[in-house]
A and B are shown apart, each in its own frame.
Chain A
């Protein structure tokens, strides 16, 4: 009975830690999982392993994960180009050296956030409605649009330093998503 309870609790907390929305909550669920794991080892007559699990799983790795999540903050960029038929890594080379690399360098050095780039060829309106990215780069007919929120401090810094960050392209249009509606966004 006790064994069944322990194993089911292990499954439940493992599922919680995988499917949780908040990463800090995930870490705490993982700590609880480790604690129950230690009790399970004790139940199976392995006190040495239980001690190691309690010290490493509950103590060390929980604190380490918490410090790591405190240190890393990800800035999510989405690159949209509707003209490309099938998107692969080669399609991004046209803006790689002019926009993406300087932008990543700026984000890493000055803003101290971790840049993360996704790309797609779906329609920009659909992406904006459904996905939650911090910043969109939209390429259309040799024009480059940048979408972002005006309340986002990092985005404001990027816009303020845009002339230093991106030097090659002269006609970049910046659109604040919360100040315009989506229909006249590319006006």
Chain B
């Protein structure tokens, strides 16, 4: 069952968001950019949580929609100067949603591991589209013009100095909006039906729900949100490459979800920050970050089964109640 943070949890998340927003007051540009990366990856992992944690679909092709969202900026660049963010963001959402709808319509005809293999294969297909065809602008990636903040000819020009701060606050705002939107979605009939599919798809179908279309709706929405994350990545970095669509990024997003906690909507956000933080620390110690990443995953899948959001401080329990043991056996 997926939990949404309660009153205390929401308060803690809000405080954490304020702390991130206060970073520009004292942190160097390097850490602002690092935090921006974590925020964008948190959006990406959060969009995947709609599939994994909410609907119970494990996809290995999600990075493809992230990449399509990022490449939307490059594709719009073909029409001339830097587009307004008010144009590029909807375009990224639309393209990613279309790609996700097409992939999902086919992949959802399969179940379980075959769904996983199919999403991985179609993700690889989209990778080839941007890697090998003229559409993508080269196998090594391409610089893109950052979408501008302009509306009806009025433009707010951001100086190079202010840019890390502006991007950090913008990314934070988008992430907060995405989280709030998903928390609200889970209260709707659609959200509850998705949770029901995760619990028991057969039961939902016999109750008269059309689970195929519900799942396709979730897959398309998750793809669109991944497109938002990809767009924010492209806008933050001003560079896109086919590597954004590579399947190891999908696996890393799954890692963030497991790291943060599969059973909580905010889990992927914690997981993304833990992932980026660990990666930065590992990068300062050793050249072999992938070795560290592999070992961390082993520790998490072997030991930390409920993620960071599942860690409970034993000191806070008043009585050695037998209840937790029964809960462990139940899920």
Decide if A and B are genuine partners: no
By a beta-carbon cutoff of 8 Å, the part of chain B in contact with chain A is none
